[in-house]
Amino acid sequence: MLKTAFFTLLSLAIAIGGGGGSVWYALQAQSGVGAISIGQWTAFPEIGTQDADPYSKARVAREGVLALGKAEGLSFIAERDAAGDELQRQCDYKIEGSFPTARFWTLYAADQSLGVVDTGKPRLAALQSYQVLRQPDNSVIIAVGNRPAPGNWLLTEGFGRMYFVLTFYDTPIASSTGLSDVTLPRIVKAGCNA
Amino acid sequence: MRRLLHAILLGLLGAGIVHIVVLLLVPEFTERDAWSRLAMASDLYKMTRLDAEAGGAPVVKSVDPLFYAAACRFDLAEGMVRIKAPGSVPFWSVSVYDRNGHNFYSFNDHTATGNKLDTVVLTPAQMIDVRRELPEDLQGAIFVEAPIEEGIFVIRAFVPDDSWKPTVEQFLDQSSCELQDY
């Protein structure tokens, strides 16, 4: 009798704990269903629409996200550099390459919650395309780090994990056809001051 | 031993079912979605700033740091809602969301007449009424037909650098979100 009760309880514990825990885990992960990856960058073009998968819908509801509409823009998030290492706030990076067609884009360094990194200075950890210097071939090289750099400089500060969020506004790539042959800039680690 | 294995297998099967059920119930029961957060911050038909710049923590997450944003909640069951914002800024875009935060319509300043934000959100039934006789002052407005009742309207405006802050702030502060009499 006691054994039966024990096994029933065990089953229930696995079912509820495992079920709830796996949902929580799936909603924490940055990648997942409905993601499109280009190089190190990941986007969720369907997020926040009726066509989104149940995981995206749950994430939208739980985090109170109001996702960008298709006529507004599309966000890409990077959590690793070209070598596959996690992005760190104490490291310097170089973001280089060409950017797809858009009216303009913004790039910012984000913390775990995808809010902009707090630099503690008047300068934001963000850049936008109207203010960047371009190479002769129209590509862009951006130095990321906590020390000023010539050319384009994205200020970061502090320690721990970091994400880059690159958002294209009023862009044809937000419509479903445009994503196949898009190339995005590479993220290369330049060094760490550990 | 066999009974232990049996119990574990049964538990894993149950975990799968619980996983699906919880996943589908999260949007229904969450109190942290955009609507609930906005409801805590302000009333219906009231433009509320979403970004942290206006003081306090940001109401809704993942707003670009180079953007200012404002949102208002509306209920089409009470009538159609008109959103206006005077002035011109480098870029603005708007989105209409349903109660669950699903985006179903968006457009930007290139779509609007003379880059002016003047929009009416209404149900298909209200649209039929309006079409019959279009009021004079609605001539230039963009009509968004929405098969919903409760919804959220969001305006996002680009702040290229610090010098634009006052202009963009004014643009959002002067934006209105009102029940339109018809």
The domain limits of chain A are 1-30, 34-192
d(CA A60, CA B40): 18
- CATH number 3.20.20.150 given to A34-192: no
Burial class (CB in 10 A: 0-12, 13-18, 19+), B58: middle
Determine the pLDDT at residue B141.
Answer: 87
Q: Is B164 on the interface with A (CB under 8 A)?
A: no
Asked if A103 is an interface residue toward chain B (Cβ–Cβ < 8 A), one would say yes
CA distances from residue A141 to A132, A167, A185, B3 in whole angstroms, order as listed: 9, 17, 9, 63
Chain A environment of B144 (Cβ under 8 Å): none
CA gyration radius, chain B: 21
| C-alpha to C-alpha distance for A68 and A112, rounded to whole angstroms | 20
How far is Cα A153 from Cα A30, in angstroms, rounded to an integer? 26
pTM to 2 decimals?
Answer: 0.86
Q: Pick the residue from chain A with its C-alpha nearest to B31.
A: A62
Model confidence pLDDT, tens digit, residues A39-72: 889 888 778 788 888 888 888 888 778 888 888 8
B164 Rama class: left (phi>0) / alpha (psi -120 to 50) / beta: alpha
Q: Residue B153's closest CA among B72, B76, B82, B75?
A: B72
Task: Supply the ipTM of this predicted assembly.
Answer: 0.83
Angle at B173 between CA B172 and CA B179, to 5 degrees: 90
Q: What are phi and psi of B95, to 5 degrees?
A: -140, 145
Domain boundaries in chain B? 1-30, 34-179
> For A45, which residue in chain B has the nearest alpha carbon?
B103
Q: How far is B14 from chain A (nearest CA, A)?
A: 4
Out of 1.10.8, 1.10.150, 1.10.287, 2.60.40, which CATH number does the structure's domain B34-179 have? 2.60.40
Q: Decide if pLDDT at B181 tops 80.
A: no
Report which of A168, A157, A9 is spatially closest to residue A99, judged by C-alpha positions: A168
A143 and A151 Cβ atoms separated by less than 8 Å: yes
Instruction: Among A3, A10, A128, select the one facing B160 at the smallest CB separation.
Output: A128
> How would you label B103-114 residue by residue, b for 16+ Cβ within 10 Å and e otherwise?
bbbbbbbeebee
How far apart are the CA of B61 and the nearest CA of chain A, in angstroms? 6
* Contact between chains at B32 and A72 (C-beta distance less than 8 A): no
Q: Fill in the amino acid letter for A105.
A: W
Distances (CA, A) of A73 to A27, A103, A105, B32, B90: 23, 10, 9, 24, 15
pLDDT computed for residue B133 by the predictor = 83
Return the SS3 of A124.
Answer: coil
* Min Cα separation B74/chain A (Å): 15
Is residue B106 less than 8 Å (CB to CB) from chain A? yes
The model's pLDDT over B125-167, given as tens digits with 9 standing for 90+, comes to: 888 888 888 888 888 888 999 888 899 999 999 999 889 999 9
Does A118 reach chain B within 8 Å, measured CB to CB?
no
Distance of CA A176 to the CA centre of its chain: 19
Residues 6+ apart with CB under 8 A from B134: none
Measured between beta carbons, the chain A residues lying within 8 angstroms of B60 are 64-66
Q: Residue A67: what pLDDT? A: 84
Q: Do B105 and A69 touch (CB under 8 A)?
A: yes
pLDDT in tens, A144-181: 998 899 999 999 988 899 999 999 998 888 766 666 77
Q: How confident is the prediction for chain B on average, in pLDDT?
A: 86
Q: Of A46, A134, A65, A144, whose CA–CA distance to B64 is shortest?
A: A65
- Please tell me if residue B133 touches chain A, with a CB cutoff of 8 Å: no
Q: How far is CA B152 from CA A113, A135, B70, B101, in A?
A: 23, 42, 10, 8
Residues of B in contact with A114 (CB under 8 A): 61-62
